[in-house]
Amino acid sequence: MTALFDKYAPLQARIDMMMKIGSDALGVKFDDIISATRGRIGNREILLAGTNNYLGLTFDEDCRAAAKKAIDDHGTGTTGSRVANGTYSEHTDLEEALADHFGMPSCIVFTTGYQTNLAAISGLAGDKDVIFMDADAHACIIDGSRLTNASTIRFRHNNPEDLDKRLRRQGEIEGGNALVVIEGMYSMFGDIAPVDEFVDVTHRHGGYLFIDEAHSYGTFGPTGCGIAEEQGVLDKVDFISGTFSKSLASVGGFCASKHPEFEITRKVMRPYMFTASATPSNISAARVAVEKIKSGGHLRDNLKARAQQLHAGLSALDFDLCAEPSPVIAARRPNEGVAAMEWNWLMENGVYVNLAVPPGTPQSSSLLRISLSAAHTEQDVQTIIDTFAKMKASQGEIMSGMMSKLQ
């Protein structure tokens, strides 16, 4: 007989190896968060370059004031789900604001971004429907499809021709529909979907298009609606989901739709019905952030300029970057050990990025992933580039350090 946790022995061995080389990338603890771009560990100030705080709104004065006011007005928690315990005015105000921003008749807010996709995908796809999802789909899209009895077909990443082929092969779906799920900007590589082409292919086959704009809401499009707006097809997309935990600088999520009938899913989505609704403070901070996003052209301009600066700087240092300039810039590293050692070195040298390793990454890559913020200054980005340059120059020392720790 095996013990309950024996199945985790290989994972524990991997973690032990990481800890041995001094890298605790999955357990970072900040002693203080000072601003959108600075944290503190012990007496070291850390430049934050892995937070997804794309517009830097976590410390925005108006967002903070709204969160505080909501606590004073309506308390710290909702103590239950909207179905069982009622909706607060904050929830409906935010739903109306987001629906208005997208120009869509329906929007539902959820407690987290993860739950948003669980809820919306499982609420939309029934037994007879077929979900077509991108090969690099986020975990919550995969998990959402697992909550349904719909069959699932994966198509090649960012490849509308492959989707076209698979939809053609599927043919008429007896008593059901095709739900195609993609993301606007992908979280690990920062690459962008050709949403306009996906709209064409999906609708040509009579399907519905669902886009997760978790990383692109706020960061792309003339008014910040995301990649669909950037590519001029916002009005053609059937469903747009997103999270409050990135540009909106809070916690929660939303799904908007051009179909007013989407409202019926409030009565069937288990991750909406059977969990507590988001707190008044989370929702109110996000509500003010929506207004900041709508008028945030200057923030998006700064973010774009910083992305171009960082991409050019790291390319000049010969780092193998995963995509064109975008708010997420990921450098491919040769393997997990090297990436972990480098991540550790960057941290010791005052720059926090994300260590991203399989199975959470596409193509089993080991990445140093940077997410930029409109709050980063030109000097901040130069500091990131300089630190990466120093890391490259210290490669021999970093590797011999790793070998000695592994002995």
**CA–CA separation, 184 and 239 (whole Å):** 12
Q: Which CB sits closer to ligand PMP, 117 or 344?
A: 117
Find the shortest distance in angstroms from Cβ 1 to ligand PMP: 37
User: Which strands sit side by side in the sheet containing 253-257, from one edge to the other?
Assistant: 106-110, 253-257, 239-243, 208-212, 178-183, 130-134, 151-155
Q: SS3 string of 256-275?
A: EECCHHHHHHHHCCHHHHCC
Q: Which residue is nearest to ligand PMP (CB)?
A: 113
Find the shortest distance in angstroms from Cβ 27 to ligand PMP: 18
Q: Give the pair of three-digit tokens for residue 271.
A: 């991750």
Find the shortest distance in angstroms from Cβ 391 to ligand PMP: 25
Q: Which CB sits closer to ligand PMP, 275 or 387?
A: 275
Find the shortest distance in angstroms from Cβ 275 to ligand PMP: 12
Q: Which CB sits closer to ligand PMP, 206 or 360?
A: 360
Residue numbers of the site for ligand PMP (CB under 6 A)? 112-114, 117, 138, 140, 183, 187, 212, 214-215, 243, 245, 253
**CA–CA separation, 195 and 192 (whole Å):** 8
Question: What's the maximum distance between 2 C-alpha atoms anywhere in the chain?
Answer: 64
Residue with tokens 């002995």: 407
Q: Which CB sits closer to ligand PMP, 119 or 347?
A: 119
Find the shortest distance in angstroms from Cβ 251 to ligand PMP: 6
Q: Which CB sits closer to ligand PMP, 114 or 319?
A: 114
Give CA angle at 137 (131, 139), nearest 5°. 100
If residue 390 lies in a helix (H) or strand (E), which one and from where to where? helix 378-393
Q: Which CB sits closer to ligand PMP, 345 or 352?
A: 352
Find the shortest distance in angstroms from Cβ 173 to ligand PMP: 26
User: What angle, 0 to 180 degrees and rounded to 10, lies between the N-to-C axes of helices 139-146 and 113-124?
Assistant: 40
